[in-house]
Amino acid sequence: MLSRVAENIYWMGRNLERVENGARLISVTKTMLLDLPICRAHPHFGWEQLVTITGNSELFHSLCQQSNESSVLAFLISQPDNHSSLLSSITYARNNLRTIRDIFPREFWESLNQLYLYIREYADNGIETGHWDRFLRVVIRKCQELIGLLTGTLSRGTAFDFFRIGQHLERADMTTRILDVRSSYLALHTSDGPFPFAQIQWLNLLRCVSGEQMYRRQINPRITDIDVLSFLLRDRLFPRTFYYCMHEIALALTTMVNSTHPLEHVEQLKQMIEESDLSLLMQHGLSKFMDDLQLALGQLHQQIATTYFSRR
C-alpha cells in the first residue's frame, strides 16, 4: 500500500470518529444541562466545558464575544475555522476519502458524501431550536452506518487495519479528553461535601461514550465514581474503553510490516493503564494522568507516522 494512501485512510478513520464523538458529546451535554439549570451559565460546568474538551478555548474566545449555548454550538458544529467542528471533520474525512476512493467500497463513498451534504446543509442554514436533537442523532446514526458498512464489506487487509488504528486512536484520545475536563471538576469537593450533582455528571460521562447500558449490566447498576473511571479506562469488553482501543490498535498492527516499534508503544500505554492506582488518582492527579496518557497517544501517532507515512 502507498504511504500516502495509508496516511489518508488513517486520518479518515480519525476524522470520522471525531464527527461521531463530537455529535454525541454535544447531544449528551445538551440533555444533561436541561436537568441542571444552575450549571448552564457556569463557566466551568456549562456549555463552555465542551469547548475545553476539544482543546480550542483560545480560538473560541477569539471568534466569539459571548459564551452561551448558541455560540458554543455554532462553534462546535459549523465553524469552518474550528478544525475539529463537525463540519470541518466531515469535510476532512471526505477529502481523505476522495484521494483513496479506489480502495473503499463504492457505497461507502455514497454514504459519506450524503453525511457531508447533510451536515453542510444544516451548517449553512442554521439549526432551529427544535431540530437539534434530531440533527445530532442522525449524524451519530449515519457515522455508525458508515462504520457498519465498512465492517460488513471491506476486506480485512491493510486498508481496514489503518482505518481501525485511526479510529481507535481518536476514540481513546476523546475518552481521555472528556475524563480530563470532567473529572477535574468532579474531583473537587466543595465545603458542603462532594460536587453537586456529581452522580449525574458521572452518568453523563458514560453516556458520552454510549456506555451507560453496558456499564450497568456488566459492572454495577449503581453509578460510582471509581467504577465508572475503571470501566472507561480498563474494561476489556466494551468497545470504547481506553484499554479496548489499545487492544484493537495492537491487533491491527500485529499483522503489519515493520510494526515492532509502534507495538512497543501500544504495550506501554496498556501498562500505564493497568498499573495505575485509580483510587489514589481519584484523590488527586487524575488530570495529570490523563495529560500523560494524551502525551503517550501523541507519541504513538508520531511513531506510526514515521514508520508508515513518511515518504523520503
| Cα of 261 vs its chain's centroid, Å | 25
Among 232, 249, 256, 297, binds other proteins (CB under 8 A): 256
* Range list of H helices, 154-241: 158-186, 198-208, 212-218, 225-234
**The one segment of 104-112, 166-174, 182-190, 267-275 that binds other proteins by CB under 8 A:** 104-112
Among 66, 190, 258, 260, binds other proteins (CB under 8 A): 258
212-222 burial, b at 16+ Cβ within 10 Å, e below that, comes to bebbeeebeee
268 binds other proteins (CB under 8 A): no
- Alpha-carbon distance 76 to 85, whole Å? 5
Among the listed residues 257, 290, 271, 9, the one whose alpha carbon sits nearest the alpha carbon of residue 174: 290
Query: Phi and psi dihedrals of 241, rounded to 5?
Result: -80, 160
260 binds other proteins (CB under 8 A): no
* Contact (Cβ atoms closer than 8 angstroms) between residue 239 and residue 247: no
What are the beta bridge partners of residue 190?
Answer: 193
Minimum Å gap between C-beta 296 and other proteins is 23
118 binds other proteins (CB under 8 A): no
Among 47, 61, 110, 145, binds other proteins (CB under 8 A): 110
Cell 461507502 sits on residue = 108
**The one segment of 61-69, 250-258, 265-273, 279-287 that binds other proteins by CB under 8 A:** 250-258
8 binds other proteins (CB under 8 A): no
* Contact (Cβ atoms closer than 8 angstroms) between residue 202 and residue 28: no
16 binds other proteins (CB under 8 A): no
303 binds other proteins (CB under 8 A): no
- 97 burial type by CB count under 10 A (0-12 exposed, 13-18 middle, 19+ buried): buried
Among 1, 63, 198, 200, binds other proteins (CB under 8 A): 1
Binding mask 70-99 for other proteins (x = CB under 8 A): -------------------------x--xx
Minimum Å gap between C-beta 6 and other proteins is 5
Among 257, 264, 295, 306, binds other proteins (CB under 8 A): 257
Minimum Å gap between C-beta 148 and other proteins is 18
Among 4, 61, 134, 284, binds other proteins (CB under 8 A): 4
Cell 465508572 sits on residue = 228
159 binds other proteins (CB under 8 A): no
The count of chain residues that interact with other proteins, using the rule CB under 8 A, is 25
155 binds other proteins (CB under 8 A): no
| Cα of 106 vs its chain's centroid, Å | 26
156 binds other proteins (CB under 8 A): no
Q: Cβ neighbours of residue 68 under 8 Å, at least 6 residues apart?
A: 41, 47
Among 38, 117, 188, 295, binds other proteins (CB under 8 A): 117
52 binds other proteins (CB under 8 A): no
- Alpha-carbon distance 155 to 133, whole Å? 35
- Alpha-carbon distance 221 to 237, whole Å? 17
163 binds other proteins (CB under 8 A): no
Q: Which H or E run includes 193?
A: strand 193-194
The β-bridge relationship of strands 193-194 and 189-190 is antiparallel
Binding positions for other proteins, rule: CB under 8 A: 1-6, 95, 98-102, 106, 109-110, 113-114, 117, 158, 256-258, 307-308, 311
